[in-house]
Structures are given as structure tokens and as C-alpha cells.
Structure 1
Amino acid sequence: MRTSLLLIVLLISSLGHAQNLQNLLVNPGNNLGSTEGWTQDNPFGGSWFNSNGINGGSAWASSPVWNYKWQLIDLVAQGFTPAYLDSSPVIRFAQQYNKYEVPGMANDQWSITVALLDESQQEITNYSYSDFCGADGWQLFKGYFSSYPAGVRYVKFTHGGREYGESAGSAGGASLDDSFLSVGNLVLYGSANTASLSGWDVVNGGDGWSFAGNSEFVSSYDECKLSQQIDLTALGYSGGVSGDDYSINFAMDYRGVGPSFNDPVSVVLTFLNSNGDVVDATTLNGVGAEAFQELTFTYSDFANVAEVLLDISAQDIEYWLGNYGAKVSNIRLWLESQSTDSTDELEASLNESNAVLFPNPSASKFTLKCDQDMDRRAIEIRSLDGRLVRKVSPDFVNGKAATIDLSGLTSGTFYITYFVD
């Protein structure tokens, strides 16, 4: 049987998710019991020392005088392309803070400064804030950048603390824990690299959530839940977003724990409009295996979404005491611009070949469907100048549909080449 070649010109916008969409800070929650990964800046003397943190871990406490420490994040080295950074993806940051761990320290002070820098490490813009800790225990401060000028290539994250009154001694300043910085991901603390549950509303079933591997949330023998409200209007998308302009994308890694590994996970995404009305919801279910798997969802057919409610459930199917339930990690939710470039050419090409590709644009995976059986040898992804970018042997469904992974591709327009019998 003769095999014929069909060539389709398709616009595929991939954000290249070799990018690190999780917390970009090293040792963000004093997991190492030191300031490793940070550069100290103590202009008045003193130093940082260990204090009691969130969820029984460690935090940093400052000296009585102002102490600072900072990290400089090279975004290109983290996998973000200049073109993507110049599209001004949302940059989120957060910080847990508390007074020192003895009574009468409510007037301890803390500060945070996040600066966006260009390729020469010159400042483009910054956000700076300082306040008293108060007497209410650990509190979460969060902020963001959006619609900032092009050219951002580095982020400098600095925080500091002191004891109000600067009394003598080596201890007594503000305590800081669970520092956070992400680019493009609208989920706060989407991995467990702070070894805490900061940013989440939590249901601790069984023995509750635990942590493993510097990134994994580990569930227990009763249903454990993580929930987060993502308010798009509070992140710079005034009035919410429409499907004509953006797709809303979700992905999460999960796996089971032995001996059987088939621990269940579930994700519910609820979409609300600017009036607070539920406009849609979807449920994703998975069964764990020994290796990590991925749950994904793309939502693009909607008039208005201003808020996303994210609810994650996991547990141990074997009902053992301790933390032997499903593990979840690398939780991310992001927006992608729905480009209309070359729409007429795209539609004509698709109609001619009787092929359908979705979602398009995509940042993680896409599915190609054809009304004829496709040859199983390979599907090729080529640049517009004809250069072979990737050759894949995808999993086919009934010979007429294939799912292709885009991990590692930068954004752009590509040719998709495939064969039919």
C-alpha cells in the first residue's frame, strides 16, 4: 500500500516547559538549617540564626539590628526564553513572617524587596515593602508583577528583619520562612520545596500531609486535600480573561506509593466569572503508578473567567498508618495567549488535510486527529525553514489520533509532518 505525505502548517505556541515553573529560590524555608543558597547583607553587624518555623520546621530569625539576605535568579538559566520573558508573564512572590518566638515582640520589623533586572543586571522595576510583624503568629505576605516592560532576565529577591528597638544581644529579630518566587505559574507553592503547606487550605486526612524529595506532597490513609483560590483579577487581569484571548492550562505530576502504587488522586477545577458565578467545572482523576504521571487540562472555550478554584485530593488505597498515600508535585496553572496569526492559512490547511489539532496554541502536549489511518513510523516537527526540530513516535489511538509531547520546545510556529496510508 502506498504511503503519501501530508504537510500541515500549524501555529503551535509552546512555552518550553523545560522551564522551572515552581519556586525558583534555593533553600527557601531554611530546610538546610543554614543560609546556604543566600548571600547575607548585614550592614550593621549581627547575623541570621535558626528559629522555629512553620509545620515544625526551621525558620530564620534576624539579629536585633537590620539584617538582609538575597538571591539573584538568572531566568534564562532556569529555561525561560527571552521571547517568553518579554511577553511579561505574571511573576508571583510570597513570604511568611512572624515576630520572634518570645512574648512582647509584636513590633519586630520585616521587609521584602523584589527587583526585576535586565541582562546587564540593571533594575527595570521593583516592589518593596516593610512592616511590623504584629502578634498574630505566622502570616503570609504575597505580591506579583504583571505588564512590566520587556527585557527582564534576572530577579533579585531580598528580605530582612530586625528587633524593634534594637536591644543588645544576639537574638530577637523578626522570623522569616517559606520565601517564594515563580514566573508564569499562578499557583503559589506548587511543590513542597519549603517542606510546609504555605499558601494552601488544607484537609489532613489520616495522619495528614507530609513531604518527600524536596518537592512532593505525600498523602495519608484518609483523603487529604489541598485547595487554593486563584483570583485572576488580583493578578492584573482586570475583569478576568476570555477564551478569545487566553487559554487556561493546568498540569500536575503524581505517583503512588508501594507496595501496590495504585493510590488515587483527583483534581477539581472550578471556573468563576467576574460576578462570582460558576461558569464551568471539570474533574480529573488519576491512579498512581511507581513512576510519575501527569494530569493535564486546557480550557479555552469560555466567555469570561475571573477566578479559578483548585481542589486536589489524594490518599492511600491500602489504608496504612503513616504517609503511604499518593504523592503530588509540580502543580501549575498558567495562561497562554490565543494568537490569531495565520488563522486563514491554518484553517485552510486543516480543511484540506481533514486533520484536527488541539489545543492550539499549546505549552505541554497536543493531540492530532485525522480521518484516515496514520502511519505509525513517526511524526515530525519542523521549523518554518524546514529544519527538523523533533521526531516522535507517539502513542496512537485506533490509528487515527496521536498525542505529542512539546516539552523543551521554545515558542514559535512549526510545521507538523505526518503520514497516512
Structure 2
Amino acid sequence: MLKNLIRNPCGEEGLDHWQAVQNGGDGWKVENDVGIPEYPYHMKYFAASFQQCSKTQVIDLLKHGYSNEFLDSQPNIMISDWYAKRNDSGSSYELQVQLLSESRNVISEFSIKHTAIPESDFSFNQVSHTFIKYGPGVRFIKFTNGGKSLKNWKGWYGVRVTGSSVTIN
């Protein structure tokens, strides 16, 4: 099994290891299966509020024990994230993953912007991507996700995210 390089992918440690980029409305909150249907992998998730919320984590690949030579051989980098809406409010979801050089310049990027989750979709959805042949020089990975409620209700009616994952093969 590959090691997940994301720390605290499901909110088991609150918001530890994540940096809030945007904390709109009432900000981020960690919930435990409140207001959404059952989902198969995690018991906790991050819930966004009624204005844009986004959080990020920067992974230092050298600190995880990967050598410059290995990283320059361009191993596959797999990313994954799970998202859903509450059962009583539509949501939007965003994901941006950037492969960064030592000086933090973007080498490659994958993003999903302003994906609306319709009120009729009651399931968790997975987004995944594999970076291949992206070029040498990757030393950091910046993983950012978020969203908001499509209704302007106070509280945490926005997107739910959990199970964030970055692995290298």
C-alpha cells in the first residue's frame, strides 16, 4: 500500500496540518456524518460554510525521504479527493494540485474550478488524477480544496471534503 503524504486527510485532528486560505462565512468545521448520507471510507470530513472556504497543505517531498534523483525520474504522482454536498443544500467544489520546484515555481497543475453539485446528488464523489511525464525538478506538492454552499444560509451547508490523498509510485 502506498503512503498517503497528506496529513490529517479526514479531519480526525481538526484542522491541524491544513492552512485556511479562505475562511468565508462561518469558516471550516470538522463534522462527523451530520446532514449527509452514509459514505464508504471515512467517518469525519471538513465542512465549508456559505461563503468561499479553501484550505491547503504543502508537502515537502525531500522531508518525506524522496531523493532528488528519484523525483527527477518523474515517478507517477497520484492525487485523490472525495466531496459531497449536504442533503438540504447545493454546493460548489474546487480542487487545485500543483507540482512545485525547489523555488516553488509551478511545474505542472491539475484543477477543478467551481464544480456545482446539484441538490439531487446525494453521494460522495471521488476525483482523481495521475501526474505523468511532468518534467524534472518537483520538490513540493501543494494540495488545495474547498467550496461553499450555493444557498446563503448561515452555518455549514457547504461542500464536504474528506479522504484527500497524494501518493507517489
TM-score, scaled to structure 2:
0.87
Counterpart of 1:142 (choices 115, 124, 128) is 128
> 1:175 aligns to what?
160
Identity %: 27
Query: In the alignment, does 2:12 pair up with 1:31?
Result: yes
Question: 1:123, CA displacement in angstroms?
Answer: 1.3
Deviations 1:281-332 (A, max 9, x none): xxxxxxxxxxxxxxxxxxxxxxxxxxxxxxxxxxxxxxxxxxxxxxxxxxxx
> 2:30 aligns to what?
50
SS in 2 for 1:148: coil
**CA contact 1:46–1:67 (8 Å) conserved in 2:** no
Deviations 1:117-159 (A, max 9, x none): 0011121121110312241311111111000011000000000
Letter in 2 for 1:28: P
Deviations 1:362-421 (A, max 9, x none): xxxxxxxxxxxxxxxxxxxxxxxxxxxxxxxxxxxxxxxxxxxxxxxxxxxxxxxxxxxx
Question: 1:51, CA displacement in angstroms?
Answer: 2.4
1:43/1:29 Cα in 2 relative to 1: closer, same or farther (>3 Å)?
A: closer
> 2:36 aligns to what?
none
Which piece of structure 1 moves more, 108-117 or 37-46? 37-46
Structure 1: segments with no counterpart, 5+ residues = 1-19, 185-421
> 1:117 aligns to what?
100
For residues 60 and 159 of structure 1, the distance between their equivalents in structure 2, rounded to whole angstroms, comes to 10
Query: In the alignment, does 2:117 pair up with 1:133?
Result: yes
RMSD of aligned alpha carbons: 1.8
For residues 94 and 160 of structure 1, the distance between their equivalents in structure 2, rounded to whole angstroms, comes to 14
Dislocated runs of 4+, deviation >6 Å: none
For residues 27 and 72 of structure 1, the distance between their equivalents in structure 2, rounded to whole angstroms, comes to 13
Q: Report 1:149-298 matches (<5 A).
A: 149-165=135-151, 167-184=152-169
Letter in 1 for 2:117: C
Question: 1:29, CA displacement in angstroms?
Answer: 1.0
Question: 1:42, CA displacement in angstroms?
Answer: 1.5
Relative contact order, higher structure (CA 8 A, sep 6+): 2
Question: 1:41, CA displacement in angstroms?
Answer: 1.2
TM-score, scaled to structure 1:
0.36
**CA contact 2:24–2:49 (8 Å) conserved in 1:** no
1:43/1:28 Cα in 2 relative to 1: closer, same or farther (>3 Å)?
A: closer
Q: Report 1:310-389 matches (<5 A).
A: none
SS in 2 for 1:83: helix
For residues 66 and 27 of structure 2, the distance between their equivalents in structure 1, rounded to whole angstroms, comes to 34
For residues 58 and 29 of structure 1, the distance between their equivalents in structure 2, rounded to whole angstroms, comes to 6
Letter in 1 for 2:159: A
For residues 121 and 46 of structure 1, the distance between their equivalents in structure 2, rounded to whole angstroms, comes to 31
Question: 1:170, CA displacement in angstroms?
Answer: 2.2
For residues 85 and 30 of structure 1, the distance between their equivalents in structure 2, rounded to whole angstroms, comes to 29
Structure 2: segments with no counterpart, 5+ residues = 34-38
For residues 86 and 164 of structure 1, the distance between their equivalents in structure 2, rounded to whole angstroms, comes to 42
Deviations 1:28-81 (A, max 9, x none): 01122x111100111645311122344561111101111000100000111111
